Amino acid sequence: MSLAVAAWWLCIGFAFAPGGTSPDVFAEYQQGLHGQYTNLRPPLHCFLLGAAGRLVGTPAPVFWVQTALYFGVATFLALRARRRAIVAIVLLALFVALPPSWAIAATLWKDVWFDLAILLAAVGLSLPRSPLRLGLLVVASIGAAVFRYNAVPFGVALVAYEGWTGVRSGWQRGVAALGLAVLVALSPRLMDAIFDADQQWSFGTILVYDAVGIYMREPAAFAESPLAAMVPLATLREAYVPQASWRLMGEFGIPGLRYYELSPLREPMTAEWKRLVLRYPSAYLKHRSMVFSRMLGIKMKQQLSLFGETSTRGLFPGPDTAHPVHRFLGAWRRDWANDFPFKVWFWALWLGAAIAIAACVRNADAVALGVLIAGYFALYFFAVEAAEFRYGHPLLVGGFAVLWVASASPAPGSNANPQPLSAMQARSARSEPEASGVHGRVAAPSAGSGSGPVSTGSPSRFHAIMWPSRNATGFTRASQSCARAIPARGPCSQ
């Protein structure tokens, strides 16, 4: 299976290298080439693209690395399955073959690196409690935060979950959770400082877009707007669409409102946004609901940003669009572009089903991962600016990751992740009467019953915790068989 995935990776690479592009990619690539960064783009991603460009004249090395990690980590997760391994392999085949999956992985978007953070988090959660598990989760959380600034809540919640559940003592778990959360929350600021990124008003696009959306529903509110002196309402009305904000604030948007020109409006538009939301909450919610529904793909024949462009604007060599493999795969993904696999709502249902399955098999880590991804996506209701499919791609990756984490755990009752005994529990286990046995408690026969001892059917807590996890299921079965085989006249001979 690994060889098949590797062959598929090479096909994707030869077809689409150096990767799908967009205006975001061009801006990040140029920032990286010139070493001049802003906080409007993740500086680390810009640096990687620029470093590759300076090294070989194209960002292709970033493309090859990210696709290798995307398919490689997924393969590792699938091959770790300890229950229903065949299902895990089938999931892997779907993950690597479905166009909505590889079409995004074959772009140069920062969103792919957030997907990689989710997969790495799944690897960590599939392991027993250990320093390795904690390290993987911290790296995944920081990676999510520094490559996708709006993923900071996801990263903070992930390490807080591990800190809270991985430490037994109450005050220690609180300190661990808080310390890890602060580390992840500060990582984007630290990255900005490392790359000396120019601080612009990155949050301004959301507030200005909300304000314009409210003006469209409440025109009277525009009279008091700071924008009234800059642009007529008719111009805003012409540029406003609920599918995307780029006509307002994109590279070719309204002068003075382009995303890199918003810093002078920080204070007046922040106050204006507060005024509008408090005075016109219904208009605000209607605007947000419409944009979010478009991002889900509802009432959209085709969503935006399905798989990027092949144009490179002459900045670096593009893919060979005449190559037969490129033509075949490109036609395949275009044929799917209007179907439900390229709609975010479908993958929202997919993630919900995955969480339900993880809950049924009682895997708390898998459920937690799914809930954190769903919570991250739910925050888009207040922040999304465009009906782009890539914003919902974490739901696709998250659904597969949740199922792989659930399949990496052994069957119920096998105790794959034993927790260490506290001192009190250890003393209690040592002081248990010898009559309880090491293979299960044996009750004495009742007086005059004439029957032999009866097993309670479960091993002692001490051995359930301390016995090696991979032998736990066999141990339990052996102990139950032993208890049933005890003759009335004496102990088990096994």
pLDDT, position 409: 65
* Of the ranges 17-26, 62-71, 324-333, 470-479, the best mean pLDDT one: 62-71
Residue 465: which pLDDT band, with cuts at 50, 70 and 90? very low
Task: Find residue 443's DSSP bridge partners.
Answer: 454
Q: What is the mean pLDDT of residues 180-206?
A: 93
pLDDT, position 164: 86
| b/e per residue 266-280 (b: at least 16 CB within 10 A) | eeebeebbeebbeeb
Residue 408 predicted with pLDDT over 90: no
| Domain match, 256 and 348 both | no
pLDDT, position 191: 95
Residue 491: which pLDDT band, with cuts at 50, 70 and 90? very low
Work out the mean pLDDT of the chain and round it to a whole number: 84
| Domain match, 251 and 265 both | yes
Residue 378 belongs to some domain of the structure: no
| Domain match, 122 and 6 both | yes
Distance between start and end Cα atoms, the chain: 43
pLDDT, position 216: 96
Q: What is the mean pLDDT of residues 187-202?
A: 94
Pick from 269, 296, 323: which residue ends a domain? 296
pLDDT, position 401: 97
| Domain match, 17 and 114 both | yes
Pick from 254, 271, 296: which residue ends a domain? 296
pLDDT tens, position by position, 87-127: 899 999 999 999 999 999 999 999 999 999 999 999 999 99
Closest CA to 212 of 169, 161, 255, 249: 249
pLDDT tens, position by position, 312-353: 888 999 998 888 999 999 999 999 999 999 999 999 999 999
Residue 383 belongs to some domain of the structure: no
pLDDT, position 252: 85
| Domain match, 156 and 214 both | no
Q: What percent of the chain has pLDDT over 90?
A: 68
| Domain match, 153 and 245 both | no
Q: What is the mean pLDDT of residues 188-201?
A: 95
pLDDT, position 278: 97
Q: What is the mean pLDDT of residues 267-281?
A: 97
| Domain match, 398 and 432 both | no
Distance CA 183, CA 1 (A): 38
H-run or E-run covering 54: helix 43-56
Pick from 296, 331, 348: which residue ends a domain? 296
Q: What is the mean pLDDT of residues 412-419?
A: 45
Distance CA 92, CA 1 (A): 9
Residue 208 belongs to some domain of the structure: yes
Residue 490 belongs to some domain of the structure: no
| Domain match, 339 and 458 both | no
Residue 123 belongs to some domain of the structure: yes
Q: How many domains in the chain? A: 3
Residue 488 predicted with pLDDT over 80: no
Residue 371 belongs to some domain of the structure: no
| Domain match, 165 and 240 both | no
Model pTM? 0.82
Instruction: Evaluate whether 160 touches 181 at the Cβ level (below 8 Å).
Output: yes
| Domain match, 41 and 114 both | yes
Domain enclosing residue 273, as ranges: 204-296
Residue 316 belongs to some domain of the structure: yes
**Between 482 and 229, whose confidence is greater?**
229
Residue 161: which pLDDT band, with cuts at 50, 70 and 90? very high
| Domain match, 290 and 332 both | no
pLDDT tens, position by position, 226-235: 999 999 999 9
| Domain match, 288 and 319 both | no
